[in-house]
Structure 1
């Protein structure tokens, strides 16, 4: 896709990631990295008696996948003639459904806006992180990227 092509794709799905399993090891590593060791995430035995019937992923772990495996780049979008794409931030995030350990997630990205800057394009993407077999998503987040040309 070229920078000139992007505006024609506003309102369209531009990326669909592969499925990623949320393992207890990934949850534990996220807890270690962030210091969030709440039992509903890291203590499967205690979490089994909790409100979710077992351990769940941190909401921010789910969101963090947008930076890597679920990113627009990770979903297969390559913008030709760009030097660099950086995360510029988020407009809105909602954690809709808890993600149980063992669940598989993927991201569906829809292009919402393309705004030109002096040496970049700013693109806004609506991300819907789906849980395999669930009707409601894990997370819905609007992210903003700057694509430097």
Structure 2
């Protein structure tokens, strides 16, 4: 799978461990920045990752900031994105199975490296179930289309 990853300066230090883990799992990863711990704004990198996932240049995306909240909110402003912020594996798994999420976000101030890896693994291993969930996901897409 091709995975886009990005963070802000707070998530920067956790990002290399996640990139290494994704590559160990056999995924192709593209880091959209930042590339230093210099203070920056998360919407810049959230937008880059989200647009690349929405345009199908990448299969999925991962975003990291202090809590995962702001960076996921920014990603969800891009049409076609269903970003979820998770601090434990179960919600990550169900977000893929039930909501067909395409971006995972988490906070480097909330979780450590090993928990982040468990969350990533559960999220990547889960598959969208469709079926009874399809109508709801379609309703979300309709809200997006009508927001203008």
Q: Flag whether TM exceeds 0.5 (same fold).
A: no
TM-score, normalised relative to structure 2:
0.26
TM-score, normalised relative to structure 1:
0.26
The structure with the largest strand share of the pair is 1
